[in-house]
Structure 1
Amino acid sequence: MSINRISIYHLETLLWIERLGTFSAAAERLNTTQPAVSARMRELEQRVGATLFRRDGRGMALTPAGRKLVRDCAPLLREMEQALLGSGGFGEASGVVRIGAGEIAAASCLPPFVAELKADMPGVGLEIEIDLTANLIQQLLTGRTDLAFAAGPIAHPALKTSPIGEVELVWLASPAVAAAFAGGAAMLPVWSLASHSPIHGRMREAIAASRIAQKSLNLCNNARTMIDIARAGGGIGIFPRPMVRGEVESGALVEIAAMPALAPVEFHVAMRVADTEPVLTQIFDRAAKLNLAAARA
């Protein structure tokens, strides 16, 4: 065994392959190419003198020797990272952290959280992607993102989560549409987020309990666009209050009275259980202390 020729990046690459399941996912996480990852693993196998991977269908799986190396080296790398951070603090941390968030989180708690994070960890690059909850969870599970702010509850054995509060939903329309509805119109267009959004289910239940005609429902996968449609007089919508505060304060949108009550949407922050990097763990712990109610105040 040529231990003096084994570098940290060899072991780090091995651990990310084990965590994410594929060479390509590890390459994306490490900001390199799949051929580079394959080359690192060939070098590592040569230097430890053992086969670490075997072909499993179209993919690769760890051999017993590979699993043992992961088990033995993971704590060592984690301790090394903690030691290095201990000497310089998180202010000296580096790397790239990918954060996924829904539009509601992006409009409430995310901006101040990111600003504070960048102030405390200037060397950590952030990549933020806004998407629907279903997509966020899938991206988190496949390693495309490291942290997700998503509507919950979230239940998956590969993820750990923490609740960060609830967001109130409100019935809104332009003043003209609200007046028409108050006058008895029942065929006005109603807008909801797409079927895989948690708001869609609330919308269906609320419409069934109201005098709105069922066939009036229209779908959109972007809450901001729905708000703009409502402002333009295009119909009624159920919206998260943090996203429409400005429109309500200016009078561009008004609340519709005597409508069925809406349960709030619960939000969680989530990360993979297998991720033990000190920087990512620190960011998750900070995110877990967020309070959406305080962010709305």
Structure 2
Amino acid sequence: MDISDMRMFEAVSRHGSMNRAAQELHTVQSNVTARIRGLEEELGVTLFQRHARGVSMTPAGQRILPFAGRLTKLLADARAAAQDDGAPNGALVLGSLETTTALRLSPMLTSFAKAYPQVRLVVSTGTTRKLLDEVLAYRLEGAFVAGPVSHPDLHQQVVFEEELVLVTAPAIRTLDALTAVSDLKTIVFQIGCSYRQRLEAVLADKGIATAKPLEFGSLDAIVSCVSAGVGVTLLPKGVVTGAWQEGRISIHELAPDQAQVQTLFVRRTDAYVSSAMSAFLDLAGPKPPAAASS
């Protein structure tokens, strides 16, 4: 077993396909298939179940996957350290909640890009659960997620404090009015979004029954559906203030213990901190809450 075997194993596990892994690694499928088969023979276990749609990991494959990620990241960190002369440069791959990207990151990323033009900054969005998984798997160097977070392999720092509000159609003037809505739907991001979990808790606390949630992948889609009266959602006040001022939605403030949420920046404790990451961490220090508009 060598590092190239583990790289192939990690790529196949991520894509669920020998062919797509081969394309990423700039080789042919037969080579990937042979190397994976050789790795399985060396370890004496089956790592993937083959089927018509591709492959899926066996329990043995799942057990060794974290080691593949560590080895791949360790080599990448060694290469980055050798080339890191102290001036921020190279790629910096981060993740963020879509709400945080919309509300907070534009000025921060603009300032960083102007200050460090040699850094290629890449930011992808996702739910808190997805982003944490990506950081833990070494696929993201860091991510902005909703707290609280507790994991021994993650370093975290508070960067923002947000106020969450319940968002409804304009016709809903009070939270009590929601109790009269039959088949009330929640409009949410995909499973793994911490705001979704809080919304369910807020409504349950008020004795409001809900139907199966509707899932959307973008903030604009969620706000549009709520505005049209399809359902309700829970979002940071700052990202919906504009729609509220335009009369497209109503917002309802919550008790502090339900409304206050911290946005954290998380990264692996064992990852190499490059000069680019160090510069970004300096810029991403704790910020005051966004000013509320009324």
Shared fold per TM-score greater than 0.5: yes
**Residue 195 of structure 2 aligns with which residue?**
199
Describe how 1:208-223 pairs up with structure 2 within 5 A: 208-212=204-208, 214-216=209-211, 218-222=213-217, 223=219
Contact 1:209 1:260 in 2 (8 A): no
State the Cα distance separating 1:180 from its structure 2 match. Answer: 10
Give the equivalent residue in structure 2 for 1:147.
142
Aligned residue identity for 2:95: G
Partner of 2:126: 131
In structure 1, the residue matched to 2:111 is: 116
* 1:241 counterpart = 2:237: yes
Aligned to 1:157: 152
1:195-250 deviation per Cα after TM superposition (whole angstroms, max 9, x unaligned): 422122222221122253x1345232434322110111223322221220110121
Higher mean C-alpha deviation, range 270-279 or range 104-113: 270-279
CA contact under 8 A between 1:191 and 1:226: conserved in structure 2?
Answer: no
Asked if the contact 1:173/1:254 (under 8 Å) is kept, the reply is yes
Matched, 1:176 2:171: yes
Q: Match for residue 35 of structure 2?
A: none
Residues 180, 215 of structure 1: CA spacing in aligned structure 2 closer, same or farther, 3 A cutoff? closer
Equivalent pair of 2:187/2:231 in contact (CA under 8 Å): no
What residue ranges of structure 2 are gaps of 5+ in the alignment?
15-23, 28-41, 48-60, 65-73
| Aligned-partner Cα distance in 1 for 2:80–2:130 | 29
- 1:208 is aligned with what amino acid? A
* Length-normalised TM-score, structure 2: 0.67
Unpaired segments ≥5 residues, structure 1? 1-13, 36-54, 62-70
Q: What is residue 42 of structure 1 aligned with on the other side?
A: none
Percent sequence identity is 21
Deviations 1:130-182 (A, max 9, x none): 11111111111222211211112222222211111321111222222447964
2:97 to 75, 84, 102: 102
Question: Which among 169, 175, 185 is matched to residue 180 of structure 2?
Answer: 185
Name which of 201, 222, 226 aligns with 1:226: 222
Say if 1:123 and 1:24 are closer, same or farther in 2 by CA, change over 3 A.
farther
What are the superposed Cα offsets for residues 39-89 of structure 1, whole Å, 9 maximum, x if unpaired? xxxxxxxxxxxxxxxx65558x9xxxxxxxxx9x9999787555x22xxx3
Distance in 2 (CA, whole Å) between partners of 1:200 and 1:99 is 23
Distance 2:282 2:10 in 1: 26
Structure 2: which amino acid aligns with 1:185? A
Contact 2:159 2:265 in 1 (8 A): yes
- Indicate how the Cα distance of structure 1 residues 276 and 199 shifts in structure 2: closer, same or farther if over 3 A, else same: same
Contact kept, 8 Å, 2:160 with 2:264, in 1: the verdict is yes
Report which of the two structures shows the higher radius of gyration computed on alpha carbons.
1
How many residues were matched structurally? 245
2:25 corresponds in structure 1 to 33
Equivalent in the alignment of 1:266: 262
1:4 maps to none
Contact 1:159/1:272 (CA < 8 Å) preserved in 2? yes
1:80-117 alpha-carbon deviations (Å, 9 max, x no partner): 555x22xxx33xx23x2211111121122211111111
